[in-house]
Amino acid sequence: MDVGGRRLYYYAAGSRGAGETVLFLHGACASSHLWHTVVPLMPAGHRLVVVDLLGSGRSDRPGEAPLTAAAHGERALALMDDLRIDQACVVGHAAGGAAALSMAIAAPRRVTRLALLDVPAFDDWPRRAAPVARALARSPFGHLLGAPLLAGLAHGALLRGFADRERGRHALDQFLLPFAQRLGVEALVGQLRAMRDPGIAALSTRLDAVTQPVSVLWGARDPWLAPSLGARLAAAIPASTFSAIPGARHYTPVDAPEQVAAHVASLLTR
C-alpha cells in the first residue's frame, strides 16, 4: 500500500466478524515476522492486520523519512485510512509499542485498546536497550562496514533478547536479511539510531491522556528494559494492567506466543 509516497507491506489474516480489527506493529530491527506464531492463536471473528514498518521487512527504504515512534504512528493511521479501518486494537512491541501509544494519544477515537509489549518509556530506553547495536549506529564506520557485516554484528548484539537462542537466531535471520539484501546499510543504521528516539520521553509525559483499556506485557527476563519499567508504565496509564511473562526475554512474541495471544484475547473482552 502506498502511504505518503512510500510503500508499506502488510498482510491480513483472521476472519471478519463482530470483533474489532487488531493491528500489529513490530519494533526496530524487526519485521512482521515477529508475530507469525501469535497470529494463528488469535480468537476468531477479528480482522488481523500485520505491518512491516517503513524501513523494515518488505516495506520501502525510508530515505529521508523519519523512523521515530510518532512518524511510524502517523503512517499506521494513514494505512488504516487506506484500508478503511475506522478503529482498531493496536498491539505494539518495543518501538512499535511507542508508536501505538503515539497513535492512541494523537487519535484516541481510532484506537480502541492497546497491548504494549516491552516498550521503551520515560528515559530508560537510551540507557538500557541494545548498547552494542546502538554503538554500531553511532560509529562513523557503520556505513563502511557494508550491510551484510553490519547485519551480522547487529544479529550478535540482539540475540541475547531471546530466551531460546536457536529460535532467536531464526527470527533474527528473518528480521535482518532484508537489510543485507534489499534495504541496505542506510536503512539498518536508521533502525539502530531509532533506538534513541527522543520523542519517547516526551510521550511518557502524556500517559494520563491514554483512556483506552491497556494491557502492558513484559518479558520477566528482558535484559534491556527491566520489568519494573513495565510496572511503572502501567501505573502511569489509567485503565492499564501489567503482567510479566516468566522465562521470556525482550522478544516476548517469539519467546511466549501463547501467552501473548491469550493476553490480547483477554484485552479484546475489556
DSSP 20: P
Q: What are phi and psi of 18, to 5 degrees?
A: -75, -20
pLDDT value for 129? 47
On whether residue 182 sits in a domain, the answer given is no
CA distance 95 to 101: 10
How many structural domains does the chain have? 1
CA distance 95 to 55: 13
On whether residue 95 sits in a domain, the answer given is yes
CA distance 179 to 155: 11
pLDDT value for 144? 45
Give the CATH number, domain containing residue 235. Answer: 3.40.50.1820
Q: Which three cell numbers stand for residue 212?
A: 483506552
On whether residue 142 sits in a domain, the answer given is no
pLDDT value for 141? 46
On whether residue 237 sits in a domain, the answer given is yes
On whether residue 191 sits in a domain, the answer given is no
* Residue whose C-alpha cell is 535482518: 176
On whether residue 8 sits in a domain, the answer given is yes
The domain of 106 spans: 2-130+197-267
Q: Are 189 and 142 in contact (CB under 8 A)?
A: yes
On whether residue 146 sits in a domain, the answer given is no
| Rounded average pLDDT per 10-residue block, the chain, 270 residues | 95 86 96 97 96 97 94 97 96 97 97 97 63 53 54 82 96 92 85 82 92 97 94 96 97 98 97
Taking CA atoms, 264 is separated from 1, 74, 86, 115, 256, in Å, by: 26, 23, 20, 7, 13
Nearest to 168 by CA among 4, 13, 34: 34
On whether residue 192 sits in a domain, the answer given is no
pTM, entire model: 0.93
CA distance 213 to 106: 16
